Amino acid sequence: MIEIGFHTDAFNSAYWSFGQCLDWAHAHGLSFIECGAIDGVSWIHGLGYQPHIALWEDPLELRRRMERLDIRFSQLDAAFPLSRPEGATLGVEYVLNSLRWAHIAGCPRIDTTDDRCAPAGMTHREALDHMRRCYQRIVPTAERYGIVINIEPHGYFTTRPEFMAEMLDFVDSPFLRMNMDTGNTFIAGQDPVAFYSQFESRVDHVHVKDVSESLAAAARGELTGIAVSQCAIGDGVNAANIRAVVAKLAASGYDGVLSLECEGQGGPMIERSLAWVRQLLEEVRK
């Protein structure tokens, strides 16, 4: 069954806390939430102005609070760009710390990715082999904890299908899968429907993002990803692709979450997005 959730990035600009995001999800009948992980102390998070969780927070206490609201994590975002040289040190430890926290919090998957640019001083082969070593460290630990590691198309390598195909085979494991992103694939100059279709059997989680006409005209093929839709989902030039991808998900029997990634504007824009996606799901279920 296809469910709807959202990424708390929607409320970055509103300076909400994660607790406020939980309350918004509960008020709008959503049972899934996705957020970023902070491995350390951040003043803006500590003051309650950042809608993500820190790994020093008690995961069991938060899990119990979410259960009372009938809300679960769909995914924890630990997408430090593993293609950077620091991916082998900072990135790997960040993901490992996040997945241990996620296990206690009852979160079933972790999101990962690469950088928007190829790393300076490395050939493509060197960068891919570097990332292979990172995932070879991460995935066996994820298997022990029963947590899926997703690769999201968001950077130089991951938005190119030929590289994504290789990355998904870095480790022969059902715990290495893909987080499809409709907005990132589009802004990178790819066809989101074709991209999804190529990796349909590996898709474990989906980010739904639209792209405004002005952003597409200015940056399509120049960027490899965007944080959130800067227009309501359904109002942009990527709406038809989103419709087609969701229809294919439904036809394939996808049993998972569509995580909305949209600028919230304190609520109104993501509320319009939620209404549009709910209507879309009603249409594809008929």
Q: CB burial class (10 A; 0-12, 13-18, 19+) of residue 268?
A: exposed
Count of Cβ atoms closer than 10 Å to residue 144 Cβ = 12
Rg over CA atoms, the chain: 18
Task: Return the CATH fold of 3-285.
Answer: TIM Barrel (3.20.20)
Give, to the nearest 10 degrees, the angle between helix 124-145 and helix 90-105.
20
Q: Residues 6 or more apart from 105 whose CB is under 8 A from it?
A: 59, 60, 62, 63, 73, 76
Q: What is the pLDDT of residue 222?
A: 96
pLDDT tens-digit profile, the chain (286 residues): 999 999 999 999 999 999 999 999 999 999 999 999 999 999 999 999 999 999 999 999 999 999 999 999 999 999 999 999 999 999 999 999 999 999 999 999 999 999 999 999 999 999 999 999 999 999 999 999 999 999 999 999 999 999 999 999 999 999 999 999 999 999 999 999 999 999 999 999 999 999 999 999 999 999 999 999 999 999 999 999 999 999 999 999 999 999 999 999 999 999 999 999 999 999 998 7
Per the CB < 8 A criterion, the answer to whether 14 and 265 are in contact is: yes
Compute the C-alpha angle 193/198/203, nearest 5°.
85
Longest dimension (CA), the chain: 52
The H or E element spanning position 66 is: helix 59-68
Per the CB < 8 A criterion, the answer to whether 210 and 234 are in contact is: yes
Q: What's the sign of the alpha-carbon dihedral 117, 119, 125, 131?
A: negative
Helix (H/G/I), strand (E/B), else coil: 208: strand
What residues does each domain of the chain span?
Answer: 3-285
Q: Phi, psi at residue 41, to the nearest 5°?
A: -115, 130
